[in-house]
Amino acid sequence: MAPIEEVREATARLDQLETVPESASSSVTALLTRIRGIVLEEGTDQQWRDLVESANSADPSNASEVAELIRALQAAPNTPLPPNGWLFADLAALDLARAVNSSPEAPPVEQ
């Protein structure tokens, strides 16, 4: 499965849950840390600023909030060049997606 498909499947699974699966909690922490670590500069696009702000106020146990953060990260513009730290956040989102998709607590997604 391609990485983007893994992320889409994970966000669909998270949408069906109230809380993030326990087995994925450390991956959520890593994602939030990486998003908060994105370097915002004067010319940084507003979507990136909003993403970092959302990560600062997100409830790490709330599955729908985490799914929305992942979607916002995926939708953030990459031209001009994204801010420093975006790749770490993107990789953390993929790690979280894999943790959610392999969790027995997350319901299967109908294709």
Q: What is the pLDDT, as a whole number, of residue 80?
A: 82
Q: What is the pLDDT, as a whole number, of residue 111?
A: 59
Question: Alpha-carbon distance 27 to 29, whole Å?
Answer: 5
Question: Alpha-carbon distance 96 to 66, whole Å?
Answer: 10
- Closest by CA to 74, choosing from 10, 21, 30, is 10
- The domains of the chain are located at 3-101
pTM over 0.95: no
Q: What is the pLDDT, as a whole number, of residue 21?
A: 96
Three-class secondary structure of residue 86 per DSSP: helix
For the chain, which ranges sit under pLDDT 50?
Answer: none
